[in-house]
Chain A
């Protein structure tokens, strides 16, 4: 039984470290994990869930604003990017945040094509992160069910 837990914990450790190394997550995600305790075991998953819902909503709105080439509401798009950048920053979604930086630049110069590319990229990135974190949370559940504790991971 012991070794099963140890194995799972190792798996978890390796997986989360790889997410940081590949740039999916940054320090802010660590901050979120540190705010979670036994009394609030779902805090991180709840925050990221809200984040992903937010992404879907904002991307949908921006997509509509960018739809008609002659009639792009860049103010709306800019507002959406700003919100997306803010919330991705708050959860430590590093790749999503970085796309937002480029996205804002395209928006500032009213580059519709550039905006559409960024929109596609940001959509891809948030969905990718969502899948990765779902896998991470599943691993957590497996550790807990096996009677283990979730390791505190120190990311250098």
Chain B
């Protein structure tokens, strides 16, 4: 009689690696102002995030490989957990960047946060309607960044738990079937 593998011995691989090292939430920050880039970088580092800074929406798209040019780093290698972008930028605005990201099948799941120095309600509404995770008024507060990070961690944790639960159910199902078949 073959040994029945009990569910808890099944090798459940941990592919939601973002939880394995929680301090390495990788944030892509987009802002044309060098002062603001320096500032947001510090906020994110203090919040234990890994930061990539770019100075335009175009460069952000290049980094993500969405600018139509082939040969960029694969999505899995980039593993961006959050995009924070300024709204008013020369060339492509943060809003246009948001739209492009939400149109992309590879990146639409990444939360995008818009930052702006102007408290314009229609602008905020438009961004949220387009799928922005949040809209922050500049200057951004450390509390805002920490709140974002915490809610992303929770979402990750929930997703991870859901996956684990699902696998547990599947494993239990297999176990029951094997038992019934008296193998």
Contact = CB atoms under 8 A, between A and B. Distances in A.
A33 B177 CA distance: 63
Interface in B1-55: 33-36, 38-39, 42-43, 46
B88 interface: yes
Select the residue from A28, A43, A47, A90 with max chain B CB neighbours within 10 A.
Answer: A90
B117 interface: yes
A32 B43 CA distance: 10
Interface stretch (B56-64, B69-77, B124-132, B135-143): B135-143
Interface residues of B, number: 16
Contact of A89 (B38, B46, B139): B139
Contact of A50 (B38, B43, B88): B38
A50 B34 contact: yes
A47 B34 CA distance: 9
B161 to A, nearest CB: 34
Contact of B36 (A35, A43, A82, A86): A86
A54 B141 contact: no
Secondary structure at the A interface, as helix, strand, loop or mixed, is: helix
Contacts, number: 47
Q: How large is the interface on A (under 10, 10 to 19, 20 to 34, 35 or more residues)?
A: 20 to 34
B43 A28 contact: no
A43 B117 CA distance: 22
Select the residue from A43, A47, A87 with max chain B CB neighbours within 10 A.
Answer: A87
Contact of A83 (B33, B46, B139): B33
Contacts of A85: 117
Contacts of B35: 47, 50-51, 54, 86-87, 90-91
Interface in B67-115: 88, 90
A90 B43 CA distance: 12
Contact of A86 (B42, B46, B138): B138
Given A31-B139, A89-B117, A89-B139, A54 B42 contact: no
B142 A31 contact: yes
Interface string B155-174: 00000000000000000000
Contacts of A40: 42
Interface of A: 28, 31-32, 34-35, 40, 43, 46-47, 50-51, 54, 79, 82-83, 85-87, 89-91
Interface of B: 33-36, 38-39, 42-43, 46, 88, 90, 117, 138-139, 141-142
19 contacts: A31-B139, A31-B141, A35-B42, A35-B43, A43-B42, A47-B35, A51-B35, A54-B33, A86-B35, A86-B36, A86-B117, A87-B33, A87-B35, A87-B36, A89-B117, A89-B138, A90-B35, A90-B36, A90-B39
